[in-house]
Structure 1
């Protein structure tokens, strides 16, 4: 790996680290922010607006990349994130903080989408597997570094510095981006007309989909939202089929790509169960500290990273369907082991190694298949939609897993068992879908 390639990897790590650490590092300061800014239950908006902004920003990135160079879009994302961080740190009222967090989330959404596109432009397989494994594992690593860094900052300074710490990291990332984000494969099409109708319909669909999942007031409103979302999705499909350069390239959604997107969405939901509610269980039921619980779930990131250094050798010995069934089986085995060894943090940690291999396999293969098996002119749009699928899975998954964790059953001893049972149901469903609907065939890579 030459200096330019190494610098690209460092830039991607910094970009993903800033986006990923925001949740874990800020969560420590919630009590302090509530007291300092006189906030009640609405404090949850600090996280909600950040995720909403990410969902808004993700899908538009592919459209922007058709009109300008990736280096400029990356710098815009970094600048938005930096400005949002600076304003968040300077916030003297809760309203200003919420607006600042929204700006910060827009920047994070842009950067997250780009992290899926840059590896395709910069690296060939199998090196791309390794790079994507390194970048992907940053999410898990941040779950450990976040509490340590956040706790240290709060010991020495006020909560405002939790946001200020992003600025020097962003400046370093900007320097690396300016010097390295120049790719021969990159192409723009500034003459293509923006599909405003498709873009509008798409955002309306996303709004009603998220409302259907997250509304807590009345169930009939959720049902109405689901029906409206389905109707808008149908109108969007009919509209995009008749457009030369649609915002949503529906012709790319063959059976394989649809299966890939469904799998990625489901895995994003399950990852929230492990990343968010496993630490809650470890702290509330087993009495571990935030740092100790972070170390227990760290094997997910460790196995995720290690897997990608040998994924090309593993997949050479399996069919594509076999590889996915293998990944699903590993996560099912992990769930069963955690279910029977719930009281032992060490046993849970070793069991989560299987989860890391499963998440690493599925996420990396989903991304590479989307990169390679869509037409070059649609690749950037498809990767933006792929990133959105993951972000929606994370946002919706955090809500669904929260509801699931809170349920009480007479035959279940620990709330974490609810999460495990739900993941097992999802995995069985995915396994049946791959067995029934996927057909192995020879593909010509669209590069």
Structure 2
């Protein structure tokens, strides 16, 4: 596909961007709408699961589809992915409970994993590593644009219409994307008769699922040292050992272990893991701060988040152009991560008195840093492996990044819940009450101890309307305390995210080698032995 006419390549890229935009819009529109959805469906304790299950499903799918697409081509998987994602989106819109929403988000995740994996891999099919920078940047920009319009539209819908339309509004766009891919994307014949690695696929799934469940449940449903959590870790470790044993013998391994012998490949994926943990673990909780602590409506929350995503789009586009022009990436990655750290540390200092302007400035820093650094580590991995492993390598980037994101959301959710509970209990005990108001005070504390009430402004007004005038001052004090508690809890989340990204910066500085970006998809080792690029090895 590298030698296809340039004009046709652009048309193909347009169809890929359309498919990616469809998936991204449906994914990002949930962010600002979810607090309102949770307030109606209930179950804030499952808040992180709505994100976790999507990343879990998409992570597993991406790594499995990456290997299969190297053999069967990208087209069938991106079409199947669009179909599954569309079904999942429709089902999410008819959810009656939080459990149903989580299950249907899993279906979305399966389709999303296929779309994301094949979209970014197709760029590697069409362009050499040196040319890929600007196109990877454009794909990231497409996702960034979806992040601009998605949250804003999501907030507007839940403020003015039924929340179900959050999941339905872009379904017609999915049909258009499906037809464009079907007509425009070239069909590639099966490259070889390699057998499917069913056992490897099974055991990598058995490794990932218990691992993520253990991090999600620990500290919430079960103690960290409970038999359930220890058992899940044990299952994951045993499955990992079996998986490694299988992959060493498999004729066509789902995740070839030989790739990890390449330093750039391994280091880039580890950095991607921490980047995902810091990014998802912090940014996913930002709408909760804006709506719950600052008291901004869902619609305005989308506008407050918009500058961050616009700066991410600009950062991705500029970063991609610079990489293509210079062929260098390490200094750019270090700069982007440093900008992101600065933004997250600024978010740590936000409190109940923070204005929308301050929040916007902080998020612009985070978005710009993310946009500059995010596409780079996909490019470094693709440049380090032979073209025959392109799909597998690209999906590994998504696997490690989303594993980091899933674990990050889970751990930071635990941090938020623990800090909020401790702060609220400690500070509410200091409030002075008399014998007459003590029972009502206790009842009020029980009602307002759940941050869910802060995310539904209509419900909060309803509660306020039932409070006797004599208790209004106490109610306002409790409400302010709840906002302070949530602010304190989320500041811990943002600081943790900054530390995680800081570790990624250190890894980039000391361990990521800068190797020349190839000007063709053919490598010297691929032409002779078919092994990994010698230039990328130690």
Pick which of 227-236 and 188-197 moved more: 227-236
Indicate the residue corresponding to 2:106 in structure 1: 102
Alpha-carbon offset, residue 177 of structure 1: 0.9
Q: Is the 8 A contact 2:277 2:404 kept in 1?
A: yes
Q: 181, 191, 208: which one pairs with 2:193?
A: 191
Change in Cα spacing, 1:159 to 1:224, as seen in structure 2 (3 Å) is same
Q: Bigger radius of gyration, 1 or 2?
A: 2
Deviations 1:384-426 (CA, angstroms, capped at 9, x unpaired): 222222222222222122222334388x973333123212322
Please, which runs of 5 or more residues in structure 1 have no aligned partner?
A: none
Find the partner of 1:238 among 245, 253, 260: 245
1:333 to 323, 342, 349: 342
CA 82–236 in structure 1, closer or farther in 2 if over 3 Å, else same: same
Match of 1:347 among 317, 337, 358: 358
Residue 315 of structure 2: aligned partner: 307
Q: CA deviation at 1:364?
A: 0.6
What is the aligned partner in structure 2 of residue 404 from structure 1?
415
Q: Does structure 1 residue 372 correspond to structure 2 residue 377?
A: no
Q: Distance in 2 between matches of 1:159 and 1:420?
A: 28
Question: Hey, what does 1:389 align to over in structure 2?
Answer: 400
Alignment pair present for 1:133 and 2:130: no
**Deviation at 1:303?**
2.0
Task: Give the CA deviation at 1:261.
Answer: 0.9
Paired position in structure 2 for 1:425: 499
How far residue 85 of structure 1 moved from its aligned partner, in angstroms, is: 3.1
1:429 & 1:91 partners in 2: Cα distance?
39
Shift of 1:352: 2.7
State whether structure 2 residue 20 is matched by structure 1 residue 12. yes
Conserved? CA contact 2:195–2:252, under 8 Å: yes
CA distance change for structure 1 residues 237 and 148 in 2, over 3 Å: closer, same or farther? Answer: same
Q: CA deviation at 1:383?
A: 1.4
Alignment of 1:294 with 2:302, yes or no, is yes
Matches of 1:49 and 1:339, distance apart in 2: 27
1:56 matched to 2:60? The reply is: yes
1:218 corresponds to which of 212, 215, 223: 223
Change (3 A) 1:306 1:271: same
- Distance 1:19-1:132 versus aligned 2 partners, 3 A rule: farther
Deviates more, 1:202-211 or 1:235-244: 235-244
1:414/1:384 Cα in 2 relative to 1: closer, same or farther (>3 Å)?
same
In structure 1, C-alpha distance between the alignment counterparts of 2:387 and 2:344, rounded to whole Å: 39
1:21 CA drift (Å)? 2.9
> Taking structure 1 as reference, are residues 169 and 232 closer, same or farther at Cα in structure 2, changes over 3 Å only?
same
Q: What's the C-alpha RMSD, in Å, of the aligned pairs? A: 3.4
Aligned to 1:360, the other structure's residue is in SS state helix
State the alpha-carbon separation in 2 of the partners of residues 197 and 334 from structure 1: 44
Range 263-272 or range 300-309, more displaced: 300-309
1:20 CA drift (Å): 3.5
Q: 1:49 to 1:9 in 2, by over 3 A?
A: closer
Query: How many angstroms apart in 2 are the aligned matches of 1:16 and 1:235?
Result: 35
| Aligned residue in 2 for 1:438 | 512
TM-aligned CA distance change 1:378 to 1:169, over 3 Å: same
Taking the TM superposition and a 5 Å limit, the aligned residue runs for 1:309-324 are: 309-312=317-320, 314-315=322-323, 320-324=329-333
Separation in 2, partners of 1:86, 1:62: 26
TM-score, normalised to structure 1's length? 0.84
Deviations 1:297-355 (A, max 9, x none): 33332222212333256456796443333223222222333345652432332233332
Matching of residue 278 in structure 1 with residue 278 in structure 2: no
Residue 288 to residue 126, structure 1, CA distance change in 2 (3 Å): farther
Secondary structure of the corresponding residue to residue 317 of structure 2? coil
**Deviation, structure 1 residue 31:** 3.9
Structure 2 counterpart of 1:261, from 264, 269, 272 = 269
TM-score by length of 2: 0.71
Secondary structure of 1:133's aligned partner: helix
Distance apart, 1:54 and its partner CA: 2.3
Where in structure 2 are there 5+ consecutive unaligned residues? 1-5, 424-484, 523-538
- Residues 355 and 8 from structure 1, CA distance in 2 versus in 1: closer, same or farther, beyond 3 angstroms? same
Quote the offset at 1:113 in angstroms.
1.7
Instruction: Write the deviation string for residues 96-146 of structure 1: whole angstroms up to 9, x where unpaired.
Output: 766544333321221122222122223456664344334324555445534
> What residue number does 2:236 align with?
229
1:273 to 1:298, Cα distance in 2 relative to 1, 3 A: farther
Deviates more, 1:418-427 or 1:73-82: 418-427
Per the TM alignment, residue 370 of structure 1 is displaced from its structure 2 partner at its CA by: 1.8
1:81 maps to 2:85: yes
Aligned residue for 2:172?
168
